[in-house]
Amino acid sequence: MSTPPPIGKAASVKVDAQLYDDLETMLRTGMTVSDAVRTAVAIVAGTYRAAWATGRCPDGVRPTITRYWVDRYDAGQEPAPGTVQTTVPTPYTERPTPRPTVTPPRQTVRPARPTRHPTGPSSVRQQPRDGS
């Protein structure tokens, strides 16, 4: 496992095409290369720490970052050119998924058969006339 360089020493990375493009994007904001590297590392490292602290993944395992949130631009609220973002963004916590409602299996409900009522003279119950 690698260790970071001692405090006060420069970090060295080989610049490939991807890093070049990423740095070029960040430098468009007015920051220096050092500011860009510090900002990027602070954001990613803070995200890793939050993932480990909340149990999203085990400590020391690199989390997969799949989402990000950017505040809406508000003129006059942007950081001053050449400054470094020292605060780590607040982790976004998903709302818990509601537990599914347990429903009994569907039963086929058949409509009741219509009751047939006999028609005609036999449909009326005859009472015996002799009282028996």
Q: Which structural domain range is residue 42 located in?
A: 12-71+79-91
Q: What pLDDT, on the 0 to 100 scale, is given for residue 67?
A: 84
- 71-113 residue pLDDT tens: 788 888 777 766 666 666 666 666 556 666 666 666 666 666 7
What band does 2 get if pLDDT is binned at 50, 70 and 90? confident
55 in any annotated domain: yes
| Total domains, the chain | 1
The answer to whether residue 6 scores a pLDDT higher than 60 is yes
| Cα-based distances in Å from 23 to 13, 31, 49, 73, 84 | 12, 10, 24, 21, 14
- 19-30 residue pLDDT tens: 999 999 999 988
Q: Report the sign of the C-alpha dihedral through residues 62, 68, 73, 74, in that order.
A: negative
Mean residue pLDDT of the chain comes to: 79
Helix axes 33-53, 17-27, angle to 10 degrees: 100
41 in any annotated domain: yes
The answer to whether residue 7 scores a pLDDT higher than 90 is yes
Q: What pLDDT, on the 0 to 100 scale, is given for residue 36?
A: 92
Which DSSP letter does residue 106 get?
P
What percentage of the chain has pLDDT greater than the value 70? 61
117 in any annotated domain: no
pTM: 0.60
50 vs 92: CA distance, rounded Å: 10
Which DSSP letter does residue 87 get?
S
Largest CA distance in the chain: 123
Q: What pLDDT, on the 0 to 100 scale, is given for residue 98?
A: 61
Nearest Cα residue to 43 out of 14, 22, 28: 22
